[in-house]
Structure 1
């Protein structure tokens, strides 16, 4: 029986149950991995890897999408102060070359390898375990709602990517990247139709391809 096949208690949010089961089974260090930015039309996809200190888990960890921007920033600071953290941003060139799924899995491998410690298990949000991962991996569907390590990684990835969108906005203010974070909102599509794509747009995505014609 795998970790994910094991019965889990019904909780209001993510817990340390998967990590505790892995540690009880002989693992020494367990990382959580998640990403932010698969859906946007512009900007990188960011993957983060986090190894929490079981004696210093920040309170309130949850799926980043359920948290306000202010709360994510608060938790980001606490995660950075108490955990081992690394992230990787796959740029648009990698996304257009590998496709978004391939770029996401590549970034996950890079983030795990960038950790200052060497985990012997990675819990990965979603349905994929990347090929070439430097330790055994276990995918967890809806992982950012089950595992605090994955939830922490989701927060790190989201905060890092949002900050990168602020930089993008400063370079190309007419796209309003700081507001929509590159997603295909009406505001973004209107700017794309008016100005055409910029260097931050994913040229392999259909709305961007259409705007280039």
Structure 2
């Protein structure tokens, strides 16, 4: 049975408004569980008008809807920024650390600066009032807006990576562990944009290592 969609509102933002923090940034990420490409984090400050907005969790929408609503986010936002953490940073910091680092970079670029944050369960270490409920991308307008920017910008990057690294199907599965991605990895091996610390990629590299050593011995 399909899970019913949830309509966001201003409940989390309103808690901050009541305390005098009117520039509330929503923060969300895309691509955290992918095997390849960056994790992308967006931060968005919307005008605190408490009016209904069309923004929804990007996972509830089709690609054309996401693109249309992302353009609307950019049009109405007081401030927004998108940052990426690429596989080398993910290897260095781990996926959670890299996500936090990208989020902090995005927040640092907001102008005007935020006075409080709502994130999708991302418990950032910041000197700001922070709400980090689960499923905030479905519950908060600000986080839904951030999810739209993060998802659409990352999808565009994965389409570009598909041209740079043909055969993996990045434009289709966006770097996640789809059957076609698994098959491409078996046929082509690991690309420079794969996350080598992730278990499926690490397992493939471990399996290939004896073959690589055998080839080196025969040269």
Q: Using structure 1 for the length normalisation, give the TM-score.
A: 0.89
| CA displacement, residues 175-197 of structure 1 (integer Å, 9 cap, x when unaligned) | 01000000011100110111111
Structure 1: which 5+ runs fail to align? 1-10
Deviations 1:63-116 (A, max 9, x none): 110011100000010101110110110011011111111111111111111112
How far is 1:140 from its partner?
1.4
Shift of 1:59: 3.1
**Corresponding residue of 1:79:** 73
Q: Residue 63 of structure 1 aligns with which residue?
A: 57
- Per the alignment, in what secondary structure is the counterpart of residue 88 of structure 1? strand
Question: 1:99 maps to what in 2?
Answer: 94
1:198 matches 2:191: yes
Identify, as 1 or 2, the structure richer in helix: 2
Q: Summarize the Cα distance change of 1:52–1:19 in structure 2 as closer, same or farther, 3 Å threshold.
A: same
- Does residue 40 of the first structure (1) align with residue 53 of the second (2)? no
CA RMSD of aligned residues (A): 1.6
Q: Deviations over 1:135-168 (max 9, x none)?
A: 3322111101111000000111000100000110
Alpha-carbon distance, 1:55 to partner: 4.1
- The answer for the alignment partner of 1:183 in structure 2 is 176
Distance change >3 Å, CA 105–CA 57, structure 1 → 2: farther
- Displacement, 1:24? 2.0
Structure having the higher Rg: 2
Task: Structure 2 unaligned segments of length 5 or more: list them.
Answer: 209-219
In structure 1, the residue matched to 2:203 is 210
How far apart are the structure 2 equivalents of 1:57 and 1:94?
Answer: 39
Equivalences for 1:34-183 in 2 at 5 Å? 34-55=28-49, 59-83=53-77, 84-126=79-121, 128-131=122-125, 133=126, 135-183=128-176
Size of the alignment, in residue pairs? 201
Q: Distance in 2 between matches of 1:24 and 1:194?
A: 57
Residue 47 of structure 1: how far off its partner (Å): 0.5
Aligned partners of 1:58 and 1:79 also within 8 Å: no
Q: Secondary structure at the match of 2:43?
A: strand
